[in-house]
Amino acid sequence: MNSRLKFLLLNLFLLCSLSAMAQEKINIGEKQAISSAILNEKREIWIHLPKTYNDSSISPAKYPVIYLLDGEINFEYYTGMSDFLARPPYADMPECIVVGIKNTERTRDLTPTKSQKKSPVNPNVILFGDSGESENFVRFIQEELKPFISKNYRTQDYSILVGHSFGGLFAVNVLLTHPEYFNAYVANDPSLWWDNKVLISKTKSYLEKNKTFPAHKFLYVSQANNEEQNKNWNSEMTQAIEEFKGIVEKNGSLNYKHHFFESEVHGTVSYPGNYDALKFIFKGFRTDIKKLSKNPQLLEEEYKRFSEKAGSNFTPSETYLNVVLKFMKSNDFKESEDYFINLKNSLYPKIK
């Protein structure tokens, strides 16, 4: 063997060792880049697949998709949270794909109108000069990002949009302008004060014209206890969120939850808000495995009820049915076990 060959082999060996070590890393997703013609720029997105996505022991399943704004800040806790909440047998929600969108020009993308504001700390500084292009950004999500995700991953036709602050403003605006784009919207401490409360006016106009929100849509709004609310623009923020709440609750046609977090400020409220939001959106999804031992058909009844409420068809996952079957078997509930074997075979027929 010549020395050049030896050198190459040594390199090969080192690379293999490195790649073996890399397997010991704990991965929660991957970064991908999309060239957006609408935004005329490359966008980085972070994609998390749920635990069972590549489980070859079950039939390939389809998953709802959560679109998460400010991806670089929220992706890591959000994906851990949604996976934990989807764990059988205590699953509060279905397993979901999470798509985090990283910012480039945040204010430009998330605000609905062009507006400016003098800095509350120093009036010589003009804030938010580059703003008002949220319609482009939502077109990017709807016409470029969603098709990319659906093409490359197994998706169920159910999606949620999650945002905080300007991202919450954006989520509310999408609900008002394109309610059909998502099934549920999450707005954490949304900046509804934006541009003289332009979204409050828009909400009023929307309801004057349409009378009600479309059926089966969900909106969750969290509100922080901004200590500084009496000092600067947070006062406007609080007032606008409360005005919006009044209008939506009075109308009464939207599946709406508002929650005020006493011990959170603007920068911390997303975390408990996102948890509470998923509990709200998927309320009725969790089934009690113990009750199924006596009353196995309850499972399909509850999924039917939940699907009607959510406006999309949800079925028990094969993973969940496997947990149910294990429970019935180990506790000798023979009739229920047979029932769920049949249900599993009908929902997930194995090709022979």
Choose between 75 and 340: whose C-beta lies nearer to a second copy. Answer: 75
* Interacting residues with a second copy between 226 and 245 (CB under 8 A): 227-228
CB 293 within 8 A of CB 36: no
* 15 near a second copy, rule: CB under 8 A: yes
What does 128-191 look like in DSSP terms, one character per residue? --S---HHHHHHIIIIIIHHHHHHHS-EEEEEEEEEETHHHHHHHHHHHH-GGG-SEEEEES--
* 247 near a second copy, rule: CB under 8 A: no
* 279 near a second copy, rule: CB under 8 A: yes
Residue type, position 269, single letter: V
Minimal distance, residue 224 CB to a second copy, in Å: 10
* 29 near a second copy, rule: CB under 8 A: yes
Part of the chain binding a second copy (CB under 8 A), chosen from 17-25, 56-64, 106-114, 202-210: 17-25
Q: Which run of H or of E encompasses 195?
A: helix 194-210
Query: And the tokens for 151?
Result: 């093409």
Minimal distance, residue 43 CB to a second copy, in Å: 14
CB 118 within 8 A of CB 105: no
CB 79 within 8 A of CB 99: no
Pick the binder of a second copy from 28, 58, 126, 247 (CB under 8 A).
28
> Helix (H, G, I), strand (E, B), or coil: what is residue 97?
strand
Q: How far is CA 81 from the centre of its chain?
A: 11
* Interacting residues with a second copy between 43 and 102 (CB under 8 A): 46, 48, 73-81, 83-85, 87, 89-90, 92
Q: Summarize as ranges the residues that interact with a second copy (CB under 8 A).
A: 4-5, 8-9, 11-12, 15-16, 18-19, 22, 24-32, 46, 48, 73-81, 83-85, 87, 89-90, 92, 119, 121-122, 227-228, 263, 265, 267-268, 271-272, 275, 279, 288, 290, 331-332
